[in-house]
């Protein structure tokens, strides 16, 4: 019997392994860079649409490029009636999490996309814009169905972030709310070879299509160790419930080795720059809203202090996201779908990059089972 070639055994979870080259994003200990620009600067000076263009087209847009890109996004916002029907039939099923509905509808939309089987750069850019535009609409329509309200059609006069909130609620957001959602979309847009993006690249690496790769990425993002952490973090804060209960809750969590959701990171060991940006915006919003909203930040900040003092572990972006979306009145099960509304741009950029210089992604496993058994 000949054995497969041997390779050094990686750490569990492929920790520390560089799995390929990419021009899209650099995850640094103190910041995050999208195609050369830091998220600190992008979240102050850019809008989500600028960042989506930067990621998908490869550079900062000129004024006319941005105008054309915005026009394309707005034109692609509506959904085919059949897709709306799928949302109506699935969104209120007791077993259906909004991430599952989103995954199903994205997969279904493939059949209506004339470029579905075309992996050329031009076709993939068109599909990226359609997916970016339509995912926000799926989330909005889904929330309308869950709330029992008529479907709120997209408003072409609103930005991507403003329209997303408008479609979910049927009311136009304030400028502050629109800004917070816009910044959260910028912060969530891209994060190199994280689990969902890597999933998308593995699927794309077989020369499969963009919708399939995105459906797989949505499934990967749903898990509470990844994007699902923003929902899990807020569920945990609701379970804690009061400032008095933080200390006993945390000591019990430490004693039982329960993970504190929204904390820790595979790469960032001294904190996540995205978390401090979003925390600042969410805290200011809660302060303006009053004591009921402030309470959640007070509980969250106490959890943060105990985690950093006793464990040296810091919040990741999902922790302030949970509190911020909650005080804005966004239903918890939509937090991870909103993450998708942003990360779709990073996923599509990676799928295009994978297809532009493809080699099948096919690692080895370290076989630990028996050998030489007789049947």
Determine the Cα–Cα distance for residues 320 and 315; give it in Å rounded to an integer. Answer: 8
Q: What residues contact residue 348 under an 8 Å CB cut-off, 6+ apart?
A: 55, 56, 124, 127, 128, 131, 132, 210, 214
Asked whether position 300 contacts ligand CMC by CB under 6 A, the answer is: no
Judged by CB under 6 A, the chain residues 176 through 195 that form the site for ligand CMC are 194
In the list 260, 286, 293, 340, the residue contacting ligand CMC (rule: CB under 6 A) is 260
CB 272 within 8 A of CB 314: yes
Q: Which is nearer to ligand CMC, 111 or 311 (CB)?
A: 311
Where residue 149 falls (left for φ over 0; alpha for ψ -120 to 50; beta otherwise) is beta
In the list 153, 172, 259, 295, the residue contacting ligand CMC (rule: CB under 6 A) is 259
Asked whether position 346 contacts ligand CMC by CB under 6 A, the answer is: no
- Rounded to the nearest whole angstrom, what is the least distance from the CB of residue 178 to ligand CMC in the complex? 23
CB neighbourhood size of 227 (10 A): 29
182 in catalytic set: no
CA geometry: angle at 362 spanning 218 and 369, to 5°?
Answer: 100
Judged by CB under 6 A, the chain residues 198 through 237 that form the site for ligand CMC are 225-227, 229
> Among 21-29, 61-69, 159-167, 261-269, which window interacts with ligand CMC (CB under 6 A)?
261-269
Q: Which is nearer to ligand CMC, 24 or 73 (CB)?
A: 24
Asked whether position 276 contacts ligand CMC by CB under 6 A, the answer is: no
Determine the Cα–Cα distance for residues 117 and 24; give it in Å rounded to an integer. Answer: 24
Distance spanning both ends of the chain, measured CA to CA? 17
Q: Which is nearer to ligand CMC, 3 or 256 (CB)?
A: 256
> Among 52-60, 201-209, 315-323, 354-362, which window interacts with ligand CMC (CB under 6 A)?
315-323
Residue nearest to ligand CMC (CB): 264
> Among 59-67, 144-152, 263-271, 324-332, which window interacts with ligand CMC (CB under 6 A)?
263-271
Asked whether position 318 contacts ligand CMC by CB under 6 A, the answer is: yes
Q: Which is nearer to ligand CMC, 161 or 275 (CB)?
A: 275
Asked whether position 173 contacts ligand CMC by CB under 6 A, the answer is: no
Residue in 141, 318, 350, 355 annotated catalytic:
318
Q: Which is nearer to ligand CMC, 16 or 372 (CB)?
A: 16
265 in catalytic set: yes
In the numeric block, which tokens belong to residue 92?
């209120």
Asked whether position 313 contacts ligand CMC by CB under 6 A, the answer is: yes
Count of residues touching ligand CMC (by CB under 6 A): 18
- Rounded to the nearest whole angstrom, what is the least distance from the CB of residue 191 to ligand CMC in the complex? 7
Q: Which is nearer to ligand CMC, 124 or 318 (CB)?
A: 318
**Pattern 150-169, binding to ligand CMC, x per CB under 6 A?**
--------------------
CA dihedral 279, 281, 282, 286 (to 10 degrees): 130
> Among 24-32, 154-162, 166-174, 312-320, which window interacts with ligand CMC (CB under 6 A)?
312-320
Q: Which is nearer to ligand CMC, 69 or 347 (CB)?
A: 347
Q: Active-site positions?
A: 265, 318
Task: Kindly list the residues in this chain that would bind ligand CMC in the complex (CB under 6 A).
Answer: 13, 194, 225-227, 229, 259-266, 313, 316-318
């Amino acid at each position: 019997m000949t054995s497969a070639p041997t390779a050094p055994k990686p750490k569990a979870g492929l920790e520390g392994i560089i799995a390929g080259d990419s021009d899209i994003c650099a995850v640094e200990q103190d910041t995050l860079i999208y195609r050369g620009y830091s998220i600190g600067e992008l979240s102050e000076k850019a809008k989500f649409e600028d960042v989506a263009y930067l990621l998908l087209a490869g550079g900062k847009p000129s004024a006319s490029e941005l105008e054309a890109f915005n026009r394309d996004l707005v034109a692609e916002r509506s959904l085919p009636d059949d897709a709306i029907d799928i949302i109506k039939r699935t969104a209120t099923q007791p077993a259906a999490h909004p991430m599952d509905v989103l995954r199903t509808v994205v997969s279904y939309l493939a059949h209506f996309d004339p470029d579905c089987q075309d992996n050329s750069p031009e076709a993939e850019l068109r599909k990226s814009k359609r997916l970016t535009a339509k995912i926000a609409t799926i989330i909005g329509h889904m929330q309308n169905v869950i709330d029992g309200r008529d479907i709120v059609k997209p408003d072409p006069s609103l930005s991507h972030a403003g329209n997303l909130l408008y479609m979910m609620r049927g009311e136009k957001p304030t400028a502050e709310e629109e800004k917070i959602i816009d910044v959260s979309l910028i912060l969530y847009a891209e994060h190199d070879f994280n689990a969902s993006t890597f999933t998308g690249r593995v699927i794309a690496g077989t020369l499969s299509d963009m919708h399939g790769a995105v459906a797989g990425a949505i499934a990967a993002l749903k898990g509470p160790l990844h994007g699902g952490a923003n929902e899990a973090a807020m569920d945990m804060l609701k379970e804690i419930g009061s400032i008095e209960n933080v200390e006993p809750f945390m000591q019990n969590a430490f004693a039982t080795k329960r993970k504190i959701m929204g904390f820790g990171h595979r790469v960032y060991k001294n904190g996540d720059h995205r978390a401090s940006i979003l925390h600042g915006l969410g805290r200011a919003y809660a302060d303006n809203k009053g004591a009921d909203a402030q309470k959640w930040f007070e509980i969250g900040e106490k959890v943060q202090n105990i985690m950093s003092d006793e464990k040296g572990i810091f919040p990741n972006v999902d922790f302030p996201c949970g509190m911020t979306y909650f005080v804005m009145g966004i239903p918890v099960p939509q937090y991870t779908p909103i993450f998708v509304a942003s990360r779709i741009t990073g996923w599509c950029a990676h799928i295009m990059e994978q297809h532009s210089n493809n080699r099948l992604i096919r690692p080895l496993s370290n076989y630990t089972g028996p050998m030489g058994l007789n049947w």
